[in-house]
Amino acid sequence: MKTFKLAMLIVIAIGMTRCSSDVDNDVQQDSTITQQDISSEILSKLQSMGFDMDKTSVTSTKGGYIVDGDIFFTEETLKEDNYQKQAFFGIVNCNRAGNIRIQNALGNNAAGRGFQRGINLWNRVNNTTLRLVEVTSNPDILVRLARPGEIGGWGLGEFPTNGVEGGLIILNLNEPSIDGDPVTAREWGNILTHEIGHNIGFLHAEQGFFGTQVPGTPNNDTSSIMTSGSNPSVVFNANNVSVNDRRAVRRMYSNRSNRLCR
């Protein structure tokens, strides 16, 4: 959702940094802005994904397009009308995922009262080894309030690095709900569930082109708790994580031989 823009920018920044700093990557960045013979449909799709088309180079190649010199999109991907899926940017180590210590440093407010719901919506998914355990000190994930002017929107979550869960979630009490009223405890719980999704590796459902799709999940899930700007009411009104969110987290974190965590 538009209020989760910072998380999207983090994904884009990290993804671009990883491409440009990888010594084994022989694709060089091209700073020349080229968009010749690219249809308005394709340019519009890229813009909706978050690319600044005044600064983004797009060139046609066999089977698709090269964006900003080192990102390849197939034609099918860019022509998908509703591209929402469960996809991950990183995975938490299997042993760590079974006991992620999370601390509520939100205080006595609606966000603090929604904290347990935010944990429970992931912990209630059965047949998965992922467990979030509330602690009062030495957390793996600290959930705190935003400082004045620190973030825009409702919140952000940090992505995993090198098998370690993202260590921070920030929630912004100054942001009203989608109906203009204060965000309720239940809504904060849903928002926290969304942010925890980032801490355990999930991208926004619309950002799957930067990550890896979870095997066994569909290309389209408009009910995902990881939905962002296209329909914020999905997160605010969710009764649970979606069927495919559950399917995804089971594949990511379980005792199965084909689990994605290691």
List the pLDDT tens digit at each of the 262 positions of the chain.
Answer: 544 444 443 443 333 223 322 223 322 333 457 887 888 888 887 776 656 778 788 888 878 887 766 667 677 767 665 557 899 989 999 999 999 999 999 999 999 999 999 999 999 999 999 999 999 999 999 999 999 989 888 999 999 999 999 999 999 999 999 999 999 999 999 999 999 999 999 988 887 667 889 999 988 899 999 998 667 999 999 999 999 999 999 999 999 999 999 8
Q: pTM, whole model, 2 decimals? A: 0.73
Contact at 8 Å (CB) between 159 and 10? yes
CATH 3.40.390.10, the chain: domain bounds: 87-252
pLDDT of residue 180: 96
pLDDT of residue 33: 74
Which contacts qualify for 173-180: CB closer than 8 Å, 24 or more apart?
A: 173/109, 173/110, 173/111, 173/145, 173/146, 174/146, 175/3, 177/236, 178/232, 178/233, 178/236
Please give the distance of CA 103 from its chain centroid, rounded to a whole number.
21
- Rounded-to-integer distance, Cα 225 and Cα 244, Å: 10
Contact at 8 Å (CB) between 222 and 231? yes
Length of the chain equals: 262
- The topology (CATH level 3) of 87-252 is Collagenase (Catalytic Domain) (3.40.390)
Q: What is the DSSP string of the chain?
A: -GGGHHHHHHHHHHHHHHHHH-TT--PPP--S---TT--HHHHHHHHHTT--TTT--EEEETTEEEETTTEEEEHHHHH-SS-B--EES----HHHHTTEEEEEES-SSHHHHTHHHHHHHHHT-SS----EEEESSS-SEEEEEPPTTS-SSSEEEPPPBTTB---EEEE-TTS--TTSSPPPHHHHHHHHHHHHHHHTTBPPGGGGGGSEEPTT--SB-TT-TT--TT-THHHHH-SS--HHHHHHHHHHSSSSTT-S--
Owner of token pair 């004045």? 148
* 33 φ/ψ angles, rounded to the nearest 5 degrees: -85, 105
CA distances from 119 to 19, 40, 124, 160, 167 (A): 33, 43, 9, 17, 15
pLDDT of residue 70: 63
